[in-house]
Amino acid sequence: MTDREVGVLAIGAGPANLALAAAIEESGSTELADNTLLLEQAPDIKWQRDLLMPWARSQVSFLKDLVTLRNPRSRFTFLNFLHDQGRLDQFVNLGTFHPLRWEFSDYLQWVAHNLHHVTIQYDSRATTITPEPDHDGTPKAWNVTLTNGDTIHARDLVIGGGRDPHIPPVFANLPPERLIHSSHYRTRINTINRDQPLHAVVVGGAQSAAEMFYALHDNLPNSHITMLVRSIGLQNYQTSKFVNELFFPSFVDEFHDSPPDMRAQILDEMRLTNYAGLAPPFLDELYMMLYQNRLTGTTRSEVIPMTEITDAREENNRITLELHDRKTGKTAPLTCDLILLGTGYDTRMPTIIRNLATHTGTTDITVNRNYRLDLGPAKAAVYLQGVNEATHGIADSLISVLAQRSNDILTDLLTRRTTPEQRIS
């Protein structure tokens, strides 16, 4: 076991914390950069690791990379990555703003490899975070324990590991081996014998559910595949250019300054811009696949809309679902072998943040405009990335605001280090 001391510890080396790392590298403060550490639980960096299908595309413009909207001259831009890889001409020739997901994932690893001062520690997962109290009882630092027993002493924390998967209560009593959440799709599907004639059921009506439904036709070629959708049918994301202005980093100020009831109304009206919908080109591809199946007489897959699952139980080594037809009000059983959940993520704060709040006696987990958790006059800080939709808008969990958000956090980090009462002697 080893102990280490750093100034800034960022948990998770996904897009959010990589954007912050790039901003810190370019801040001019070598001292801050040299004392910043990112923890990544995996052996490498992958973007949406378990949904990296070869045909999947980013739904956000490549110009909304980790840095461009903060600093278009940055050496960490996606375009510079393409230039470095010798693919810039070919990418321009594609005529698209939406790169393949695996190429954007490679870009993230490239950024990580090109950090000169900020360090990334792989195969490292934080298990507990406890505050180190100052003389007034407020935190002056954080002690973070890793799964291998190592400890890291950090003045400031940045938590950017994403939300916890949402498993609807109706599936709570099913054996874990029968359930695959989209966040574990590729890892889990690769453990299943692809030649088995299974009946797989995909639950959900958004992008992740549809991508699993589409991929299963290749991953389980001898299986029957059913997609259950609660709504009237699969729908496009709302892609109006007028509505998309609400994803501008500049809109964060406007949203943050709005009354809570207005924020909730805006989030509700923006639901179809990011949730419960599909990217229009992919929706067309999905429909074409189903049409071709009908054309050739293939009946191994189906999409059943307006359907709710009221019960799920294991019977005779299979799963029985009770399906409520919203059109007729009737209920009928459906037997299957495997359930794939495109049910999104828990809307509560992630477990690691809730546990941290308990240790600090924080009852209301809210951040200020610069994403810093309210801990009163504490010298130590905690910044939360990607979980602040209620106060910073629907784009908070997306790539769209990463570049500017990293600048907001960086500014706060530097300001606190030059404020006399915030210095640690």
Q: Domain locations in the chain? A: 3-164+346-422, 169-236+277-341
**How far apart (Å, rounded) are the C-alpha atoms in residues 65 and 68?**
6
Residue 156 Cα distances to 16, 20, 151, 316, angstroms? 16, 13, 15, 53
CB 350, CB 360: distance < 8 Å: no
CA distances from 62 to 92, 161, 239, 387 (A): 11, 22, 16, 22
How far, in Å, CA of 128 to CA of 145, rounded? 5
Pick the CATH number of 3-164+346-422 from 3.30.2290.10, 3.50.50.60, 3.30.200.20, 2.30.110.10: 3.50.50.60
Beta strands at 381-384 and 338-341: parallel, antiparallel or unpaired:
unpaired
In tens digits, the chain (425 residues) has pLDDT values of 678 999 999 999 999 999 999 999 999 999 999 999 999 999 999 999 999 999 999 989 999 999 999 999 999 999 999 999 999 999 999 999 999 999 999 999 999 999 999 999 999 999 999 999 998 889 999 999 999 999 999 999 999 988 999 999 999 999 999 999 999 999 999 999 999 999 999 999 999 999 999 999 999 999 999 999 999 999 988 888 898 888 999 999 999 999 999 999 999 888 878 777 888 899 999 999 999 988 988 888 999 999 999 999 999 999 999 999 999 999 999 999 999 999 999 988 999 999 999 988 888 898 999 999 999 889 999 999 999 999 999 999 999 999 999 999 999 999 998 876 665 54
Alpha helix ranges (H) inside 63-202: 78-85, 88-94, 101-113, 185-189
Over the Cα atoms of the chain, what is R_g? Answer: 23
Token duo for residue 329 = 């009000």
CB 140 within 8 A of CB 134: yes
Q: Are 206 and 275 in contact (CB under 8 A)?
A: yes
Sign (positive or negative) of CA dihedral 356, 360, 362, 365: negative
**Beta-bridge partner residues of 322:** 311, 333
* Residue carrying structure tokens 């404020």: 419
Beta bridge partners of 157: 9, 382
Gap between the terminal Cα atoms of the chain = 27
Q: What is the CATH number of domain 169-236+277-341?
A: 3.50.50.60
Instruction: Report whether 340 contacts 203 (CB < 8 A).
Output: yes
Q: Which of 231, 229, 230, 235 is nearest to 272 (CA)?
A: 235
Say if residues 386 and 367 touch (Cβ distance below 8 Å).
Answer: no
Q: Is the dihedral of CA 92, 93, 96, 98 positive or negative?
A: negative
For residue 349, give the DSSP letter. Answer: P
Q: Which amino acid is located at 202 in the chain?
A: V
pTM value? 0.94
Length of the chain: 425
Cβ atoms 123, 41 nearer than 8 A: yes
Lookup result for tokens 């009770």: 322
Q: How far apart are CA 255 and CA 143, in angstroms?
A: 34
- Quickly count: other Cβ atoms within 10 Å of residue 101's Cβ: 21
CA 353/CA 330 separation, integer angstroms: 42
Q: Which two tokens mark 425? A: 């002697």
Q: At 199, phi and psi to the nearest 5?
A: -115, 110
- What was the pLDDT predicted at 425? 44
Helix residue ranges, H only, 280-381: 280-295, 351-360
Which pLDDT value is given to residue 423?
58
Q: Are 67 and 23 in contact (CB under 8 A)?
A: yes
Exposure string of 81-92, with b = 16+ CB inside 10 Å and e = fewer, is bbeeeeeeeebe
Which residues, 6+ apart, have CB-to-CB distance to 407 below 8 Å? 23, 70
Identify whether the C-beta of residue 145 lies closer than 8 Å to the C-beta of residue 127.
yes
Task: State the amino acid at position 89 in one-letter form.
Answer: D
CA–CA gap between residue 390 and residue 345 (Å, rounded): 15
Domains 3-164+346-422 and 169-236+277-341 share a fold: yes
Instruction: List CB contacts of 170: < 8 A, sequence separation 6 or more.
Output: 309, 310, 311, 312
Q: Positive or negative, the Cα torsion across 408, 413, 417, 422?
A: positive
